[in-house]
Amino acid sequence: MKKGKVINSDISRVISQMGHFDKLSIGDAGMPVPSDTEKIDLAVSNGLPGFIDVLENVLEELEVQSIELAEEIKTMNPAILEKIKEIMPETPITFIPHEEMKKDLTNCHAFIRTGEMTPYANIILVSGVVF
């Protein structure tokens, strides 16, 4: 049995296959995922698991050099935005329109769907390197 922090086999596989500048997305239960993007569905019920819990778990194994967030998070979900900034204080953030974010999911290795039920709780993680 895997001993590390990320024990979900699909998430672990995707992270292990990522290289520099590759993208992985984590989001709320309502985010539409393009059919050609792998969806790892963790949603169990309303709020389970939460977006922040899944983000913190993924960050245990994925080196992230920058993130993309929807511009709308600033006004529609400032609590999640502040929590992301707390967790990743040194990570550069690019804000893009939500419609652009939805299109950019086609460039992600996978989308991890959480049970989060708050608006714009979506992030695109851009992989860095550990050397």
- One digit per residue, pLDDT tens: the chain, 131 residues? 566 799 999 999 999 999 999 999 999 999 999 999 999 999 999 999 999 999 999 999 999 999 999 999 999 999 999 999 999 999 999 999 999 999 999 999 999 999 999 999 999 999 999 99
Whole-model pTM: value is: 0.96
Write out the catalytic residue numbers: 20
Residue 102, both tokens: 């939805």
